[in-house]
Structure 1
Amino acid sequence: MSNVNSSLEPYSSKERLKPFLKCIDYTVSRETFELFMDPETELLVTFPRPSEKDLPAYYESDAYISHTDSTKSLMDKVYQMIKSYSMKRKLKLINSSSSQKGKILDVGCGTGDFLEVCQADEWKVTGIEPSLKATALAEKKIAPKGRLFNDISEITKEEYDSFDVITMWHVLEHVPNLLEYIDLLKKLLKKDGCLIIAVPNYKSYDAEFYKEFWAAYDVPRHLWHFSQKSIRRIFSAKNFEVLKTDPLIFDSFYVSLLSEKYKYGSSNMIRAFKTGLMSNLKARGTGNYSSLIYLIKNT
């Protein structure tokens, strides 16, 4: 699998990649970005990639809901309702993936709701969240026992091979150095520990329906765009084993609602519901739901 490593990094150029789609950043800048495909893995890559210095500015928006607990707009209310339901399902998933309630690391913990639920269930929680605004909200929920860092590099080598579970809920698509990050996750996880990753799936029906208006492309915040094939190829190259996938069935409705606004200028709830429903129905046969959770074992 060494050829996968060589083909993925550093992606500093478009060499070997094929043009796939042009998208607009509808959340912040209104700038146009391009997606290119690695034909070997089906991974899509966003170009141009903002510099490390410039990237935080693309997250500075009240519309970036995962960094707030807002319930002001209809979109906020829908998001918070789905988030509340998802917390219980996520907790059930991590409890089924580990033989003990030990240490859990949530990368991209946002405002800390998931960590709060895990801590109440007797997990020892650590969170990573670069947004200071979101961290301030998370601290109130998990203090004083829980720990928070702004960057995963702040976790010292003394904690290598110590986490029972690492979760990344719609975070992997944001990390700048994909394979290096996976290497670090592997070091932090215990042998036979579990990595749980949720990412959008651009092979879904709603992605094909909305094309460049599909909200889950979310350029340039999403630097990588995954299919089931790309996840399996990348993680198997790093000696992980994908044990199973689970759908996030509400994502198709939420993403369709946002995509309606991007495509038509307003959110048509009826049309968004129909598209989201159709996406889930088609995925029952293909497995290509709008977003997928991957349960991945550290072998």
Structure 2
Amino acid sequence: MKEQETIFLTVKDHSVSKETFQLVLNTDLEMLETKPQPSEDALPAYYQSEDYISHTDAKRSLFEKLYHLIKTYALVKKVKLIYSFKTKEKELLDIGAGTGDFLKQAQSMGWSVCGVEPNASAIENAKKKGIDLYSTLEVLPQKKYDVITLWHVLEHLPNLDEQIAKITYLLKPEGVIVIAVPNYNSYDANYYKEFWAAYDVPRHLWHFSKTSINKLFSKHAFRLVDVRPLIFDSFYVSLLSEKYKTGKMNFISAFYVGLRSNVKAMRSKNYSSLIYVLKK
């Protein structure tokens, strides 16, 4: 007899299809799974939106301008983080590279860069900045990397264990993987519930806790060596969540929830998004 699934929450795709999905709890991993999951052929249609900022460089609204302002600050912090690993060489692979801004920043600071991005529009935008991206892992040059980064990308990847195995193969023996993902145990997630923008179904196929990241990667012989917060994510996510919940960008309410989330996380360590540093 098939074990009954535990439905954690029912969530709507607020940005594209308006369809409803369920978040099912995987108790072994402490991870939520989006169900039903679109097929790999169907997934691209759920990204077809002018509001999907990571695939464009649009600065049409105050929200988009704020996003890019914070993004510029965050890029420098991210490159400083990978510099701190003291790798022998500086070969960087960024998976889910968007429009190439992180790679361009890393390149300007001495890294040899390579990126993967499936979205054709994002690839074109990156090319205008002098960053050439590959569309899949399979067409990458036959080489290995000192650092592999996935900034808010792991939650998008189908066939998770298979993808982690591929990424592991591309890493040098002493290499480092850096992963940033939303944290469904954060205060802002619990506050907004089904309106929490970082669920972003069905584009986000998986929803992680600290435990799930540790367990997923330990199966591939990685150890978790550091966990760091992405402080600004609580404000950005709260702004979008307010829009989904009320129909408006309530800046004051969003700022209050984002700030409260960060303050509570000082004790719990459950920030809205977390960066995980993993080594073999």
TM-score normalised by L of structure 1? 0.91
Q: Deviations over 1:97-155 (max 9, x none)?
A: 23244210000000000010111112111010011100001112235xxx420011212
Deviation string, structure 1 residues 201-229 (Cα, Å, up to 9, x no partner): 00000000000000000000000000001
2:106 aligned partner: 118
Displacement after TM superposition at 1:237 (Å): 1.3
Q: 1:78 aligns with which of 50, 66, 76?
A: 66
Question: 2:87 touches 2:175 (CA, 8 Å); kept in 1?
Answer: no
Give 1:61's aligned residue: 49
Work out the CA distance in 2 between the residues paired with 1:100 and 1:80: 32
Aligned to 1:277: 259
Name 1:226's counterpart in structure 2.
208
Matched, 1:155 2:140: yes
Select which of 133, 138, 143 maps to 2:126. 138
Return the alpha-carbon distance in structure 2 between the equivalents of residues 63 and 260 of structure 1: 16
Give the one of 93, 96, 111 matched to 2:81.
93
The separation in 2 between residues aligned to 1:288 and 1:101, in whole angstroms, is: 33
**Cα distance in structure 1, aligned partners of 2:3 and 2:45:** 28
Q: State which of 16, 26, 39 in structure 1 corresponds to 2:27.
A: 39
- 5 Å-filtered alignment, 1:243-262, equals 243-262=225-244
**What amino acid is aligned across from residue 268 of structure 1 in structure 2?**
N
Distance across 2 between alignment mates of 1:242 and 1:16? 32
Equivalent residue in structure 1 for 2:249, among 256, 262, 267: 267
Q: Residue in 1 aligned with 2:36? A: 48
In the alignment, the residues of structure 2 paired with residue 125 and residue 16 of structure 1 have an alpha-carbon distance, to the nearest angstrom, of 46
Question: What is the distance in 1 between the residues matched to 2:4 and 2:52?
Answer: 33
CA contact (8 A) 1:201 1:227 kept: yes
Question: What is the CA distance between 1:16 and its match in structure 2?
Answer: 6.1
Deviation at 1:18, TM superposition (A): 1.4
1:26 aligns with 2:14: yes
**In structure 2, what is the equivalent of residue 239 of structure 1?**
221
Give distance in 2, aligned partners of 1:46 and 1:279. Answer: 24
Match of 1:263, SS state, is helix
Q: 1:184 aligns with which of 166, 178, 181?
A: 166
Name 1:4's counterpart in structure 2: none
Measured in 1, the distance between the counterparts of 2:113 and 2:127 equals 12
Q: Distance in 2 between matches of 1:15 and 1:261?
A: 37
Between the aligned partners of 1:58 and 1:206, the Cα distance in structure 2 is: 24
CA distance, structure 1, for counterparts of residue 187 and residue 78 of structure 2: 24
On the 8 A contact 1:115/1:142 being kept in 2, the answer is: no
Which SS does the other structure have where 2:133 is aligned?
strand
How far apart are the structure 2 equivalents of 1:15 and 1:81? 47
Question: Offset of 1:53 from its aligned partner?
Answer: 1.3
Gaps spanning 5+ residues in structure 1: where? 1-13
CA offsets per residue over residues 154-182 of structure 1, 9 Å max, x none? 125x32xx200000000000000101111
Moved more, 134-143 or 193-202: 134-143
1:216 alignment counterpart: 198
Counterpart CA distance in 1 for 2:264 and 2:70 is 21
Conserved in 2, the CA contact under 8 Å of 1:105 and 1:127? yes
> Residue 148 of structure 1: SS of its match in structure 2?
coil
- Matched residue type, 1:289: Y
1:108 correspondence with 2:90: no
Query: Does the CA-based 8 Å contact 1:260-1:267 persist in structure 2?
Result: yes
- Quick one: percent identity of the two aligned structures? 54
1:127 pairs with 2:109: no
Give the letter for the 1:294 counterpart.
Y
- The letter of the residue matching 1:76 is E
Structure 1 stretches of 4+ moved >4 Å:
none
